[in-house]
């Protein structure tokens, strides 16, 4: 089983990257860490699971929110991880949550040669 965990937040052009990563990949499960804006505006054609966070919260609270969302929705102990979208605070919270849940990750991105572990 190949699961994708990606941040879908801020950054010019990053939603297109995440959308293509989702569309071009063969994923058994897709979990997106996003905010209310992403939940409302992102076209979710492959029925990705959305873990909605409030990125105005302190990073420690974000870690706990993400841990809950991940533990409820990730089925394996290793994920393909994409952090092209979002900011450092969100990225730190995602990495911390993965570490606390003992979930390994493979940094994964859409490249000119397709989807690659980087």
What dihedral do alpha carbons 59, 54, 87, 4 form, nearest 10°?
Answer: 100
User: Order of strands, edge to edge, in the sheet holding 78-82?
Assistant: 49-52, 29-34, 3-8, 78-82, 104-111, 114-117
**What is the per-residue pLDDT across 50-85, written as a single tens digit (0 to 9) for each?**
999 999 999 999 999 999 999 999 999 999 999 999
Domains in the chain, CATH or no CATH each: 3-117 (3.40.50)
End-to-end CA distance of the chain: 19
Q: Is 93 exposed, middle or buried (0-12, 13-18, 19+ CB in 10 A)?
A: buried
Percent of the chain's residues with pLDDT above 90: 94
Binned at pLDDT 50, 70 and 90, residue 13 comes out as: confident
Helix residue ranges per DSSP H, the chain: 14-24, 36-41, 59-73, 88-100
pLDDT score of 85: 96
Q: Given a cut of 90, is residue 113 above it in pLDDT? A: yes
């Amino acid at each position: 089983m190949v699961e994708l965990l990606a941040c879908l937040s801020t950054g010019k052009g990053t939603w297109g990257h995440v959308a293509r990563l989702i569309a071009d990949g063969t994923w058994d499960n897709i979990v997106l860490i996003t905010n209310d804006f992403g939940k409302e505006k992102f076209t979710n054609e492959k029925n990705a699971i959305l873990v909605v966070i409030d990125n105005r919260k302190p990073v420690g609270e974000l870690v706990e929110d993400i841990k809950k969302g991940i533990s409820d929705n990730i089925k394996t102990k290793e994920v393909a991880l994409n952090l092209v979208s979002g900011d450092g605070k969100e990225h730190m919270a995602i990495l911390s949550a993965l570490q606390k849940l003992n979930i390994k990750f493979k940094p994964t991105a859409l490249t000119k040669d397709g989807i690659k572990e980087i």
